[in-house]
Amino acid sequence: MQRKASCVEIVVLVAGLGGLAGCGSSEPPAGCPPENEIRGACAGVPRDAVCEGGICDAGVDCAEVTQVDSDAALQRAAAGAMSGACIALAPGSYGAVEIPGGVSLLGRSADDVAVGEVTVGAGEGAVLRGFRAPTIRVQGATGARIDSVRVSGSAQEGVVVDPRSSVTLIRSTIEGAGSYGVYALDPRSVSLDQVVIDGSGRPALWVASSEDCPAPAARPTIDMRRSIVRGNHIAGVALFGASAAIQGVDILETAPGDVHSYGEGGGGLSVAACSEVDVQGLRVHDNASYGVLIDGSAGNIGGLGSEGEVEIHRNVRGLWIQNITESFTVENAQLDQNKGAAIGLSGESRGVIICRSRVSRTEMKTLDAVGDISVREVGHGLVWSERSSASVVDVSLSGSSIASVLIDGEAGGELDRVVLSGGDEALGIVQQHVTSGAQQPVLSGGTPALRVAEGQVYPVPTSPAVLARGL
């Protein structure tokens, strides 16, 4: 994944742009449920049928088409189909079916056609479109496409992507899965566009490499656009050793584990295990734990203009960055009404850049605190700890409940054009647990002076726990 120029290099060019609007776009199609509107598109299964006729094969390259109207006919057609063939489903209900590689399964709509569990075997270019099913398993298929499909009510996973498989989900809904919404271990690639994943018992999207820290060429690739992840458990999106491009995605209202891993997690986006990400236009709101957690990974969150702006609102810990050994950039991020801490930096991180961002109204929350045997009330705008190094440039903080900028122990890097207002100017920038001569960040651009203390002035919240890969 190619890295952009750092925002420290370009901040002068954009300083005159003024306030930035949200990630708006054109209007979504008429009749779109308001909760599924996103960036001018309507995510989820379309209301309209794929076609008006009986055989909906338009846009699919079919070597031959077999029309079926019963489960027995479907099983016969699937058993005899060759790669490139299409099976057209008449309206009705069908049982579970295994589709040979490269064979397409086509219905009129998710309302008209119901199929039991669908398994797609190894082969190229299968299309699954216009039906509903509880589970879809992609077992070695490459270039597969799931389009206008509702995956609903599975007791286990909604969509399972096996190693070395690749699949694109478009205009589809995955809802009420008892376990993961989409589970992919060592896939080649997973792409999602205009997809809704709602109400999973485990994380909505879970993509992992089986290696602890895979080389770039060995990482699964993820492309996720104009999609909504809502009301899932443990995590909204969890990536381990993946290379991901995320554009215009909402991750909302994740809850801790309920049936599975009771009380664990509840965060929005988790990026871990040497992943690399390019995240633009993300909205992470109202998650029970962190909004975004970056652990031991590289990349960037946010970019120029409304297309790149990131919103991290009303989470418990907004954005936490830890154990960074290469580089990570946060740009054009708006963090409002997060609880406990808006931004956290820990784990001796290096190469972190936070720029052109705004932190506001961080609320008080009782959390576990470093060095304490009991929980403490915290409500800090920026927490900078564990000898981490960062460049914080053109960042404003206001309305923090307890501390505005808290540096715990020695820290390297710089604070340039950091503006405190809305009561934060009285709180100031505090560096605690240091003595005279300790390493301090360089201050410039009118950043307020440090207030240095040998002891503890404020409690430091602990870092969020990284999800277990074998969850």
What residues does each domain of the chain span?
Answer: 40-152, 153-289, 315-465
Percent of the chain with pLDDT over 90: 89
pLDDT of residue 9: 55
Q: What helix, strand, coil percent values describe the chain, rounded to 5? A: 5, 45, 50
Q: List the structure tokens of 281.
A: 């236009």
pLDDT of residue 15: 35
Q: List the structure tokens of 285.
A: 């709101």
The answer, as to whether pTM is greater than 0.85, is yes
Under 8 Å between Cβ of 415 and 389: no
pLDDT of residue 431: 98
pLDDT of residue 40: 94
Query: What's the half-sphere exposure (Cβ side, CA atoms, 13 Å) at 188?
Result: 12
Q: Which residues are bridge partners to 313 per DSSP?
A: 285, 336
Residues 388-402 have a mean pLDDT of 99
The string of pLDDT tens digits covering residues 51-110 is 988 899 999 999 999 999 999 999 999 999 999 999 999 999 999 999 999 999 999 999
Confidence of residue 261 (pLDDT cuts 50, 70, 90): confident
Q: How far is it, in rounded angstroms, from Cα 371 to Cα 351?
A: 26
Q: Which helix (H) or strand (E) holds 307?
A: helix 305-308
The string of pLDDT tens digits covering residues 274-296 is 999 999 999 999 999 999 999 99
Residue 13 reports pLDDT greater than 70: no
Question: 424 φ, ψ to 5°?
Answer: -70, -25
Residue 8 reports pLDDT greater than 80: no
**Helix or strand or coil: residue 364?**
coil
Residue 305 reports pLDDT greater than 90: yes
pLDDT of residue 10: 42
pLDDT of residue 54: 81
Residues 19-25 have a mean pLDDT of 41
With tokens 């309920």, the residue in question is 258
The string of pLDDT tens digits covering residues 102-137 is 999 999 999 999 999 999 999 999 999 999 999 999
Residues 380-387 have a mean pLDDT of 98
Residues 346-354 have a mean pLDDT of 98
Q: How far is it, in rounded angstroms, from Cα 165 to Cα 188?
A: 5
| DSSP string over 254-304 | -B--SSSSTT---EEEEEESS-EEEEES-EEES-SS-SEEEES-EEEE--S
* Summary mean pLDDT of the chain: 94
Q: Where are the alpha helices (DSSP H) in 114-165?
A: none
DSSP label at 47?
S
pLDDT of residue 26: 67
Strands 41-42 and 37-38, how do they pair? antiparallel
Under 8 Å between Cβ of 155 and 176: no
pLDDT of residue 28: 79
pLDDT of residue 18: 33
The string of pLDDT tens digits covering residues 200-232 is 999 999 999 999 999 999 999 999 999 999 999
pLDDT of residue 6: 54
pLDDT of residue 263: 84
pLDDT of residue 24: 46
Residue 19 reports pLDDT greater than 50: no
Residues 252-279 have a mean pLDDT of 94
